[in-house]
């Protein structure tokens, strides 16, 4: 399990999170309304997992190990939705 | 015809096919951005090609359709069924023009009027255009402008802009878009957008990819295209012109434009005074068109040039100054052709010549086999060595045959792709919604089979939609989907190719078939009473079942399923049907992979050797001559309670065999589609594999003979056309 709950409001992403974990993450986020995602140990996440993170706008703790992943969510990254620019 | 026109014709036909396929797909799914992009690209390239060869009317007509697609891409219009129809109409006109160009090298007179009509038709569709629904995503042309507003390309050192719109179902193909993008080196900016507004987490499908990734990189477009080659169809790439910090979709000259320019220099080098002015005008126009096609501003520099050598020098200078194109997105991305194994276009005549030579070689090999046998009979010491060499040659020639015949194969796509359009038209005309699905269209078969399959397949499909598919309301009442599905499938099975046409309609109306069979005298009511349901259904293949009085606009043209079956049998195949009441029918074509190789049983009648295709031979038997009796004009005999007609080859082939007076007759029993017959022969020979060459010249019309080849001893072997003999 690379995606799991580690505290009442904390969901941990660690190692390489495969596609199957996208649904796990979604369910955890649904059942944890004010969750924080600790992704500091995350080496890579499949796009499906990234998509769940993006759509939930959940608060993330620290920076992931993957620089690309960090870039995707930070720095010059902007997440926009059609019609909401 | 010059080579540019030839190339233009070849490419244009491929583009028309591709655009037709995309338009039909768009009609089902007007918001499919990838298909829309693909259709747009086909029209765009088609227009460019027409401009290069100077076919202005065609350029104008295709440009009008391209505009429609461009607006659809920008979200200003939606590809309604009517607009799809108008674009298809434009392609129909293009095909007609291409036919004329094929014959004469120029567009027909009146092409301008036809182009005007198309432009008007496409313009008239305006009233039906509806804007793309809000939230359907930003127009694909806007993304570059947005990036330019936000980032300083020069400062970032960006050389290429990437927009990657993964397919919604890409995860199911094991694609990980972020991972793929991460493989592009030197990314200087990344943007992530949602393709459509996010659902609430409760309703979110995490496996439905909803992201659009946009990025800037220091790599050039060709490098990016190489890294992301696997998702080529989901990408848009634009090279960034550093000098202007602007974005140019096209930079430099493509190889075809270079070739056109070089050809103009050659044309201008001609010194023949006659036609000099025409050559100058033609060269200037062709060069300018080619340059405009790739967006080069150098085209203007050639305007008004009146001296051939100066014009040639100007073109030479442009060739020297303009870089080879690397940044055109179409050129930068490997085309499907690049990605596929390298192919070579070869004139079919050359392939046929190779096939002929291989057939000759086979005959020589058979002759060596015959010589080896003679040597063995005469006790020659060389006999065994000759036999060994013959065996080795046999193996090599088999391999050669296989390879040579492999050159003649074509994918069934060549036939299949002609039908979606037809079904669409029939669907509209009959007011019955139906969908044609195709599977296995990359299954290959010999060119002759593929080309000959169109007619029978067309008839079977028409029959399915006309007689099989019920009106929508009737289908709904039966609990079926209102849209009927017709499946066209192909697969390879051993040495055969199986093609199936399945519909989910009403199935064959068995009582009606009985009624028609009685009415047309194909069987009596009493005889029919003993028929099983399958036997009754089989009657639809009987000659005379379908008559001219059945003519409908769609299927009946006085040609019945019997004609389809005859055509398939002429190819050495079989046609059968399975039908289930209210659940539909499956018509199955079993075709040989190649018509060229046939195993035959050799038999002699008098001095003449005949080859009988082995797949038609049921058995050989000897019967007492007196057991063959005359009934009317026919001669028959009874074999295990079955009456079998004996075919008189002497009469059928107008061949004077020999008078037979022996007490017993040697008969070869033949069967095709449950029809039996027997041929009396004098001697049975061995089974041999022959490359069947269709008869040509004065022998081509010979009834009952499918082809001829030579035997090892130099004798001519006539291959019998069994379907024709039994008909």
Please say whether the beta carbons of B571 and B672 come within 8 A: no
Cross-chain CB nearest to A77 (options B137, B192, B198): B192
Q: Is the pLDDT of residue B324 over 60?
A: no
Residue B404 confidence class, pLDDT cut points 50, 70, 90: confident
Q: How do residues B538-582 score in pLDDT, each as one tens digit?
A: 988 887 776 444 445 445 444 578 888 888 887 778 899 999 888
**Rounded-to-integer distance, Cα B311 and Cα B265, Å:** 8
Segment B669-701, tens digit of pLDDT: 998 877 889 998 888 888 887 766 555 556 666
Contact indicator for B65, B92 with CB cutoff of 8 Å? no
- Judged against a pLDDT cut of 50, whether residue B136 lies above it is answered with no
Q: Count CB pairs under 8 A between chains A and B.
A: 97
**How far is Cα B301 from Cα B286, in angstroms, rounded to an integer?**
14
Quote the Cα angle for B617-B591-B602, to 5°: 30
Does pLDDT of B444 surpass 70?
A: yes
Q: What is the pLDDT of residue B495?
A: 74
Instruction: Starting at the earlier edge strand, list the strands of the sheet with B629-631.
Output: B617-624, B664-672, B675-681, B642-647, B634-639, B629-631
Q: Residue A77: its pLDDT value, please? A: 42
| Cα distance between residue B274 and residue B194, in whole Å | 65
B81 touches B9 (CB < 8 A)? no
Mutate: best of B134, B206, B217, partner A, most A CBs <10 A = B206
- Judging contacts by C-beta atoms under 8 Å, the chain B residues touching residue A27 are none
Find chain A residues with C-beta within 8 A of B192's C-beta.
Answer: 54, 72, 77-79
By Cβ distance, the residue of A45, A46, A55 closest to B204 is: A55
Residue listed under structure tokens 């008189």: B648
Nearest to B135 among A29, A47, A82 (CB): A82
The pLDDT score that the predictor gives to residue B654 is 64
How many CA atoms, within 13 angstroms, populate the side-chain half-sphere of residue B352?
Answer: 7
Q: B586 pLDDT band (50/70/90 cuts)?
A: very high
Task: Look up the pTM and report it.
Answer: 0.46
State both tokens at B124.
């008239």
> Average per-residue pLDDT in chain B?
80
pLDDT at B366: 78
Put simply, the answer to whether A51 touches B206 (Cβ < 8 Å) is yes
Kindly state the average pLDDT of the residues B86-109: 88
Give the least confident one: B138-147, B350-359, B490-499, B683-692. B138-147
Confidence (pLDDT) at B557: 42
In terms of Cα–Cα distance, which of B682, B724, B717 is closest to B610?
B717
Determine contact: B185 vs chain A, CB below 8 A. no
Q: How confident is the model over B384-396, as a mean pLDDT?
A: 88
Question: How much of chain B, in percent, has pLDDT values that exceed 90?
Answer: 12
Burial of B578 (0-12, 13-18, 19+ CB in 10 A): middle
Distance CA B567, CA B575 (A): 9
pLDDT value of position B477 = 92
Residue of B138, B182, B201 with shortest CB distance to A29: B201
**A71 vs B contacts (CB less than 8 Å):** 187, 190
pLDDT in tens, B347-356: 777 888 888 7
Whether B190 sits inside 8 A of A22 (CB atoms) is no
Nearest-neighbour CA in chain B from A75: distance (Å): 9
B227 touching chain A per CB within 8 A: no
Q: Which residues of B touch A54 (CB under 8 A)?
A: 192, 194, 198, 211
Per-residue model confidence as pLDDT tens digits over B284-300: 877 877 776 666 667 77
Q: Which residue has the higher pLDDT, B701 or B483?
A: B483
**Cβ neighbours of B177 in A, within 8 Å:** 47
Contact A52 B189 (CB under 8 A): no
Within 8 A by CB and 6+ apart from A16, the residues are A2, A43, A44, A45
Q: Residue B190: which of A46, A72, A80 has the nearest Cβ?
A: A72
User: Are B526 and B487 spatial neighbours (Cβ–Cβ below 8 Å)?
Assistant: no
CB-based contact B236:B163 (threshold 8 Å): yes
**For position A25, what pLDDT does the model report?**
93
- B150: closest chain A residue by CA: A76
pLDDT recorded at residue B327: 38
């Amino acid at each position: 399990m690379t995606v799991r709950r580690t505290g009442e409001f904390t969901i941990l992403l660690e190692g390489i999170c495969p596609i199957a974990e996208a649904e796990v993450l979604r369910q955890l986020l649904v059942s944890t309304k004010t969750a924080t995602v600790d992704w500091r140990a995350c080496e890579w996440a499949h796009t499906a997992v990234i998509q769940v993170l993006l759509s939930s706008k959940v608060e993330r703790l620290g920076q992931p190990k993957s620089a690309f992943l960090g870039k995707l969510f930070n720095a010059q990254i902007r997440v926009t939705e059609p019609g909401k620019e | 015809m010059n080579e540019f026109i030839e190339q233009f014709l070849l490419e244009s036909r491929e583009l028309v096919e591709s655009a037709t396929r995309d338009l039909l797909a768009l009609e089902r799914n007007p918001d499919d951005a990838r298909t829309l992009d693909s259709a747009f690209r086909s029209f765009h390239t088609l227009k460019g090609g027409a401009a290069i060869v100077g076919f202005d009317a065609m350029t104008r007509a295709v440009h009008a359709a391209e505009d429609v697609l461009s607006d659809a891409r920008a979200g200003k219009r939606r590809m309604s069924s009517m607009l799809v129809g108008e674009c298809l109409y434009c392609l129909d006109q293009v095909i007609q023009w291409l036919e004329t160009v094929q014959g004469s090298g120029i567009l027909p007179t009146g092409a301008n009027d036809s182009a005007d009509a198309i432009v008007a038709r496409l313009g008239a569709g305006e009233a039906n255009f509806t804007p793309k629904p809000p939230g359907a995503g930003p127009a694909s042309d806007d993304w570059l402008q947005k990036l330019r507003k936000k980032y300083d390309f020069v400062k970032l050192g960006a050389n290429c802009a990437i927009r990657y719109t993964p397919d919604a179902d890409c995860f199911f193909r094991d694609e990980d878009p972020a991972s793929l993008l991460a493989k592009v080196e030197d990314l200087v900016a990344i943007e992530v957008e949602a393709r459509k507004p996010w659902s609430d987490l409760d309703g979110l499908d995490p496996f439905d990819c909803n992201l659009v990734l946009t990025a800037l990189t220091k790599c050039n477009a060709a490098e990016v295209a190489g890294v992301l080659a696997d998702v080529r169809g989901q990408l848009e790439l634009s090279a960034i012109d550093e000098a202007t910090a602007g974005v140019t979709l096209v930079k430099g000259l493509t190889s075809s434009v270079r070739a056109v320019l070089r050809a103009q220099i050659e044309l201008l080098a001609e010194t023949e005074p006659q036609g000099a002015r025409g050559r100058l005008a033609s060269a200037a126009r062709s060069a300018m068109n080619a340059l405009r096609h790739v967006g080069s501003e150098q085209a203007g520099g050639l305007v008004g040039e009146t001296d051939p050598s100066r014009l040639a020098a100007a073109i030479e200078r442009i060739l020297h100054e303009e870089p080879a194109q690397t940044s055109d997105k179409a050129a930068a991305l490997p085309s499907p052709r690049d990605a596929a194994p390298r192919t070579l276009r070869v004139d079919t005549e050359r392939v046929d010549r190779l096939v002929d030579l291989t057939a000759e070689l086979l005959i020589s090999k058979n002759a060596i086999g015959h010589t080896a046998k003679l040597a063995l009979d005469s006790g020659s010491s060389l006999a065994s060595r000759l036999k060994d060499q013959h065996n080795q040659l046999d193996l090599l020639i088999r391999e050669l045959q296989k390879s040579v015949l492999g050159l003649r194969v074509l994918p069934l796509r060549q036939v299949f792709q002609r039908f979606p359009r037809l079904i669409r038209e029939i669907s509209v005309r009959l007011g019955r919604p139906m969908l044609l699905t195709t599977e296995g269209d990359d299954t290959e078969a010999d060119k002759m089979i593929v080309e000959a399959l169109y007619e029978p397949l067309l008839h079977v499909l028409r029959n399915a939609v006309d007689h099989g598919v019920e009106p929508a309301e009737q289908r709904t009442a039966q609990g079926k989907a209102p849209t009927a599905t017709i499946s066209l499938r192909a697969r390879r099975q051993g040495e055969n190719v199986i093609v199936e046409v399945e519909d989910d309609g009403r199935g064959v109306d068995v009582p009606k078939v009985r009624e028609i069979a009685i009415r047309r005298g194909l069987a009596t009511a009493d005889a029919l009473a003993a028929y099983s349901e399958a036997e009754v259904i089989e009657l639809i293949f009987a000659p005379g079942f379908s008559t001219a009085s059945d003519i409908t606009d769609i299927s009946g043209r006085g040609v019945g399923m019997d004609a389809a079956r005859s055509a398939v049998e002429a190819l050495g195949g079989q046609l059968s049907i399975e039908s289930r009441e209210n659940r539909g029918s499956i018509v199955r074509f079993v075709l040989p992979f190649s018509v060229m190789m046939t195993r035959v049983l050799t038999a002699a009648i008098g001095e003449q050797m005949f080859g009988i295709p082995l797949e038609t031979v049921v058995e050989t038997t000897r019967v007492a001559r007196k057991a063959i009796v005359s009934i009317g004009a026919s001669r028959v005999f009874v074999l295990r309670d079955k009456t079998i007609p004996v075919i008189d080859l002497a009469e059928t082939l107008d061949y004077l065999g020999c008078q037979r007076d022996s007490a017993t007759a040697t008969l070869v029993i033949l069967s095709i589609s449950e029809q039996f017959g027997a041929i009396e022969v004098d001697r049975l020979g061995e089974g041999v594999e022959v490359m069947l060459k269709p008869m040509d010249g004065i022998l081509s019309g010979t009834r009952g003979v499918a082809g001829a080849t030579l035997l090892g001893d130099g004798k001519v072997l006539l291959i019998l056309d069994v379907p024709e003999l039994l008909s």
